[in-house]
Amino acid sequence: MAKSQDKPELIINGKRTDGRAPEDLRPIKIESGLLKNAAGSAYIEWGNNRILAGVYGPREALPKHTSDPEKAVIKCRYQMAPFSSLEEHGRTGPNRRAIEISKVTKEVFENVIIRENFPGSEISIFVEVLQSDGGTRAAGITAAAVALAGSGIPMTDIPYAVSIGKIGEHIVIDLNKLEDNYSDADVPIAFSPRLGKIVLLQMDGNMTKEEVSKALVMAKDAGAIISKLQTDALKAPYLKISEKYKDEAPSDPQQK
Ligand code: CDP
């Protein structure tokens, strides 16, 4: 939200500073399964954000007192690399913001992971922000969802996240850092599309009920694009394998 008196002009003739229309997402690329030692992993480029997500587990919950005999506990660590923004991060451990983002990310996945399948165990999600430019929690959640699905951990859905907001009179989606700094409202939101549920909603600034309704429609439209990028990323390694073997037709046992 507005943090300075010298607010730059963020929308001129209907275009944002990076050339986007209010309803446009930044370019997004997702890659799944690129880390060998994690149970699941994903790398996301979302505008100028660069984020790696890695998943471990299910494994025995340690220390023991953190475990739940009924279901798996989800642990999450969101962290910004020291070089991920102009301000150095992480030197003295997690700050309040990183702790908050870790908490809301964990809560998103508590909604969709079938935790009852793994009593006494823990599933750990790590989100490492290598480069940041606004919307890192949304991009991190979107990547972590791919990492979890790729690891085979059973989930009722693959959630995605995006921010919606308000710049002057304009309702916009997917705010970059400059827009985030000077917007009138910034609302990170995560959806479970199959269940039709909102699984994260935070709000910095003010929007009317009508403005939120309009923004939610934009977020849903953008969500269809993000969901497809997630599933395409999950399929890509398997498509590569089938491409490699496409000329080796299985032999017909009846001909022997
Ligand atoms: O990244 P996200 O929008 O989820 O969180 P934010 O707290 O609204 O931060 C917006 C952006 O400001 C981040 O993406 C970073 O680029 C930057 N930022 C930073 O560099 N250092 C901080 N301590 C907080 C934010």
How remote is the CA of residue 181 from the centroid of ligand 1, in Å? 9
Task: Write out the two tokens for 140.
Answer: 């991190």
Ligand 1 neighbourhood includes 134 CB (under 6 angstroms): yes
Q: Whose CA is nearest to atom 3 of ligand 1?
A: 135
Nearest-angstrom CA–CA distance, 54 and 43 = 9
Q: Whose CA is nearest to atom 13 of ligand 1?
A: 134
Residue 119 and residue 72 in contact, taking contact as beta carbons nearer than 8 Å: yes
Torsion of CA 190, 191, 192, 194, to 10 degrees: -160
How remote is the CA of residue 174 from the centroid of ligand 1, in Å? 13
Question: Which atom of ligand 1 lies closest to the CA of 139?
Answer: 4
pLDDT at 88: 80
Question: Which atom of ligand 1 lies closest to the CA of 84?
Answer: 20
Ligand 1 neighbourhood includes 165 CB (under 6 angstroms): no
Q: Within the chain, which residues score under 70 in pLDDT? A: 1-5, 249-256
pLDDT at 5: 58
Ligand 1 neighbourhood includes 202 CB (under 6 angstroms): no
How remote is the CA of residue 72 from the centroid of ligand 1, in Å? 30
Where b means 16+ CB within 10 Å and e means fewer, 38-60 reads bbbbbbbbbbebbbbbbbbbbee
How remote is the CA of residue 152 from the centroid of ligand 1, in Å? 31
Task: Write out the two tokens for 239.
Answer: 């498509």
Looking at domain 15-243, which of 3.30.230.70, 3.90.1150.10, 3.30.70.100, 3.40.1160.10 is its CATH number? 3.30.230.70
pLDDT at 253: 62
Question: Which atom of ligand 1 lies closest to the CA of 85?
Answer: 20
**Which among 2, 144, 170, 150 is positioned nearest to 74, based on CA atoms?**
144
Ligand 1 neighbourhood includes 87 CB (under 6 angstroms): yes
How remote is the CA of residue 191 from the centroid of ligand 1, in Å? 21
pLDDT at 32: 97
How remote is the CA of residue 27 from the centroid of ligand 1, in Å? 19
Residue of 132, 164, 174, 179 to test ligand 1 pocket, by largest number of atoms within 8 Å of CB: 132
pLDDT at 254: 64
Domain boundaries, the chain: 15-243
How remote is the CA of residue 46 from the centroid of ligand 1, in Å? 14
